[in-house]
């Protein structure tokens, strides 16, 4: 699904985040009212303004019908992606406790032993996406909170996903074992002299 809307990075962020939150709400509640959709959209705009620390007035303008439609299409694309699997129990926004110089992080979706990160841009997956999931996996290694075995990157806008095991990803990225890799990361972020 290519966007037909003019590209403004912060507005696109609002649309993408709204698409994810609408999917979350629909997955948990099945149906949501127009009023609830507007409330979610307003919360998303406030969240993106806080996140970007933007003073851009464009971010405060209510979403257009086209932007809302695009967010709903992203939500539907995510719904169809998750309906292809038998395991329908999703944990939204799994938390990874902070460690050393890293504060607590929050992922997108946990499905059994799979960490699923949503990337809804008009782009392919990037190395920054891999670093993000490896950071989450490292924090999880330190906390032993979840039994993470697989990583999935999904782009509902482009209709693509990539799945790999944590062990295979580590070997591909570092040519070492997961235990050695995560131990090194935890040692580095916990070392004296590193500052926040």
How does the average pLDDT of the chain come out, rounded?
Answer: 88
Band of the pLDDT at 55, cuts 50, 70, 90?
Answer: low
Exposed e or buried b per residue across 44-83, where buried means at least 16 C-beta atoms within 10 angstroms of its C-beta: bbeebbeeeeeeeeebeeebeeebbebbbbbbbbbeebbe
pLDDT of 38 higher than 60: yes
In a domain, 2, yes or no: no
Give per-residue pLDDT as tens, 152-179: 999 999 999 999 999 999 999 899 999 9
The confidence score (pLDDT) of residue 126 equals 94
pTM: 0.86
Band of the pLDDT at 193, cuts 50, 70, 90?
Answer: low
Tally the domains of the chain.
Answer: 2
In a domain, 3, yes or no: no
Residues 172 and 131 in one domain: yes
In a domain, 1, yes or no: no
| Domain around 168 | 91-190
Task: State how far the Cα of 18 lies from the Cα of 69, in Å rounded to an integer.
Answer: 11
In a domain, 65, yes or no: yes
Closest CA to 19 of 74, 90, 65: 74
């Amino acid at each position: 699904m290519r966007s037909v809307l003019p590209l403004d990075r912060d507005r696109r962020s609002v649309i993408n985040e709204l698409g994810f939150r609408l999917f979350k709400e629909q997955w948990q509640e099945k149906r949501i009212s127009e009023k609830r959709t507007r409330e979610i959209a307003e919360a998303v705009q406030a969240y993106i303004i806080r996140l970007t620390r933007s003073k851009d007035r464009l971010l405060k303008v209510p979403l257009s019908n086209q932007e809302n439609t695009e967010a709903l299409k992203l939500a539907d694309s995510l719904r169809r992606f998750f309906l292809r699997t038998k395991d329908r129990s999703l944990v939204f926004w799994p938390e990874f406790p902070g460690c050393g110089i890293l504060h607590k992080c929050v992922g997108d979706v946990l499905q059994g032993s799979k960490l699923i990160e949503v990337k809804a841009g008009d782009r392919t997956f990037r190395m920054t996406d891999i670093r993000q999931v490896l950071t989450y996996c490292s924090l999880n290694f330190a906390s032993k909170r979840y039994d993470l075995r697989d990583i999935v990157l999904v782009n509902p806008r482009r209709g693509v996903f990539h799945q790999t095991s944590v062990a295979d990803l580590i070997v591909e990225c570092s040519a070492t074992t997961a235990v050695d890799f995560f131990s090194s990361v935890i040692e580095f972020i916990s070392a004296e002299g590193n500052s926040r």
